[in-house]
Amino acid sequence: MIRKSEICLRTVPSRFAVCTAIAFLFLSVGTTRAADCGNGVTLRLSAPETGQGSLLLATLRSAKRLSEVTGKWNELAVPFWEDPLLKGMEKKQSVVAGDVWRALLGVDLEKPAGKYQFTVSAPIRTGETLSCTVSVEVKEGHFATESLTVKKQFAEPDPEQLARAQAESKRLREIYEHVTPEQLWKGKFRLPLDGDFKGSNFGRRRVLNGKPGSPHSGVDFPAPTGTPVHAAQSGRVVLAEELYYAGNAVIVDHGLGIYTLYCHFSEMDAKVGDIVSAGTVLGKVGATGRVTGPHLHWGLTVERAHVNALDIVKLLGGK
């Protein structure tokens, strides 16, 4: 189907900063959308609309080699990476891919529903930058509410405990605000547990000991204490310590603003500064911090947006 939509593509003589809207075409193929950006460049999102706490994959293809591609989403720069794997796959299928670049867009769990724009730009020749904008509709998430009973100190922390928890959440925000410019991973993201463990509960609104808590920003995998927890992909360990709510927790920086978080370990096998591979054991499942029983809490943050970690396995996937 080809129809007009809110795609604006324009060639911007960067020195004069004059934007000339030329035309727009919008291709809708199943649940994906592609924008023809002109100059042999197309931009495709993994879904035309999305929900709170979701991840979108943007793929930009160019007939000619591009020296760089950058995006803007949530008022933040979105780094793209070149995808040699995809190029290889497409060559096999006899599709001429040209240059392929990809980026992840995080839709924060608490981002208000509405229409937002994702803009991509790339220099195409001296003094000229191609700019392409696609509209993304964010729908309100429908998350169940559940009532849990936890130790009193986690539902009603005293002022000292509260101050500790607030200082820790500020530190986590500071970690997530840092975007490592290099891509520290290659290939697929995997689930953090081997075997048949199922992750769920993302986004649930929680009532703790009768009081409303914040939405659940991770995926919980109930598993026996001692079950090994594996890094979802390669990266650098940037936090490995006991936190008030998260218990023994590890954060891996995968580069390009992508971080995975693993909580409630009984034992930690990683330390800050470790360079890990996909599958490296970071620790063992436990019940430290605010829990109702042994489980792994697995979180994913992409350019500061808290999103469902299972989405990265679906989009860049494989177990």
Q: Alpha-carbon distance 264 to 246, whole Å?
A: 6
Instruction: Tell me which stretch binds Zn ion (CB under 5 A): 11-19, 87-95, 219-227, 229-237.
Output: 219-227
Shortest spacing between CB 294 and Zn ion, in angstroms: 12
Choices 51-59, 103-111, 126-134, 295-303 (CB under 5 A): range interacting with Zn ion: 295-303
- What the block records as the tokens of 2 is 């080809």
**Measured distance CA(99)–CA(83) in Å, rounded:** 8
Tell me if 168 contacts Zn ion by CB under 5 A: no
Nearest to 33 by CA among 130, 118, 93: 118
Residue nearest to Zn ion (CB): 297
Closest of 162, 118, 115 to residue 139, by C-alpha? 115
**215 belongs to the binding site for Zn ion (CB under 5 A):** no
Query: Of 123 and 222, which has the nearer Cβ to Zn ion?
Result: 222
Nearer to Zn ion, 51 or 218 (CB): 218
The residue count for binding Zn ion (CB under 5 A) is: 3
Applying CB under 5 A, among 38, 71, 218, 228 the residue interacting with Zn ion is 218
Kindly state the smallest distance separating residue 222's Cβ from Zn ion, in Å. Answer: 10
CA–CA gap between residue 188 and residue 279 (Å, rounded): 11
Cβ proximity to Zn ion: between 297 and 306 the closer is: 297
Among 220, 253, 303, 311, binds Zn ion (CB under 5 A): 220
Largest CA distance in the chain: 64
The dihedral of CA 106, 111, 116, 119: what is its sign?
A: negative
Q: State which of residues 297, 299, 309, 312 lies at the interface with Zn ion (CB under 5 A).
A: 297
What's at 146, amino acid-wise? Answer: E
Rule CB under 5 A: is residue 257 a binding residue for Zn ion?
no
Q: Which amino acid is it at 5?
A: S
Query: Residue 209's closest CA among 150, 293, 159, 146?
Result: 150
Residue 199 makes contact with Zn ion by CB under 5 A: no
Q: Which residues bind Zn ion (CB under 5 A)?
A: 218, 220, 297
